[in-house]
Amino acid sequence: MELISIKSPNEIRLMRRAGRVTAQARALAGSMVRPGVSTLEIDHAVRKFIESQGGTPSFLNYAGYPGSACISVNDVVIHGIPSRHIVLREGDIVSVDVGACIDGFHGDCAATYACGRISDEARRLIEVTQQSFWEGIQFARVGYRVSDISHAVQAYVEPFGYSLVRDYVGHGVGAKLHEPPEVPNFGPAGHGPRLMAGMTLAVEPMVNQGTWEIQVMKDGWTVKTADGKLAAHYENSILITDGDPEVLTVTEDGAYV
């Protein structure tokens, strides 16, 4: 079993830098979500920006993934492959997941954006998904366990009639894009590793409008809801401190989306 990495002060400094660039890339992608734009255009802009900051896109060629960002539209939960053939339309909801590696450390974050005017139900799904992250990290404190975060996310989401994806979870993040421990978005409290100062986690609720079940497409990457209903995704990389958790994937002007 791999040990959970506790970051040194210098490593935390590097992760703040990586997190800031990653958050800026996410914000850039979100600003491009509008009718008529292809997901490949967004992907190219994300890559160009990350490289302009001296970094590399964490996802590009990761286990063979062909894009710099995962761009998932409507019923695609995660890992949507950017394509010039996927052109955004009014009413779509678009999840953008971005990673950037700067000086050997990764930031990882995601958000779901409205393409033009969307339905009230779609907007509620986005808002609940985003808020569930903040509900979860209330328990991202020294002495709590990983599953305390998980349970808080689930307890917030399910009363709205939504479900949490079970096949994919959050994770540690640092010198590797995916590190221990796994951070599920469901399950009972009081389980898993105890949280310690210096841990860095990517907490990422993936919320489905209908069933939690998913299906993986023939490309081996694209994950869709099994019932064809909408999905939303929200993620930030965080640092466990001796006090409140610190969100690392934040832009210079304090934006989280």
pLDDT tens-place string over residues 151-193: 999 999 999 999 999 999 999 999 999 999 999 999 999 999 9
Neighbours of 107 (CB within 10 A): 33
- pTM higher than 0.85, yes or no? yes
Provide the pLDDT confidence category of residue 1 given band limits of 50, 70 and 90. Answer: low
Mode of pairing for the β-strands spanning 223-225 and 170-172: unpaired
User: What does the domain layout of the chain look like in residue ranges?
Assistant: 9-247
List pLDDT tens digits, range 41-96. 999 999 999 999 999 999 999 999 999 999 999 999 999 999 999 999 999 999 99
The DSSP output letter for 234 is: -
Among 39, 58, 34, 80, residue whose Cα is nearest residue 179: 58
Note the pLDDT tens digit of each residue in 119-138: 999 999 999 999 999 999 99
| Partners of residue 31 on adjacent β-strands | none
- In this structure, the chain runs to a length of 257
How buried is residue 53: exposed, middle or buried, by Cβ count under 10 Å (0-12/13-18/19+)? middle
Instruction: Determine the average pLDDT of the residues in 19-34.
Output: 98
How far apart CA 55 and CA 48 sit, in angstroms, is 10
Considering the four listed CATH numbers 3.90.1010.10, 3.90.230.10, 3.40.50.1820, 3.40.50.2300, the one that applies to the domain covering 9-247 is 3.90.230.10
**% of the chain residues with pLDDT over 70:** 100
Asked if 241 and 140 touch (Cβ cutoff 8 Å), the reply is no
Name, in order, each residue with C-beta under 8 angstroms of 120's C-beta and a sequence gap of 6 or more: none
Q: In this structure, how many other beta carbons lie within 10 angstroms of the beta carbon of residue 32?
A: 18
Alpha-helix residue ranges (DSSP H) falling in 90-179: 120-136, 146-157
Q: And the tokens for 196?
A: 């310690």
Q: Would you state the pLDDT for residue 65?
A: 98
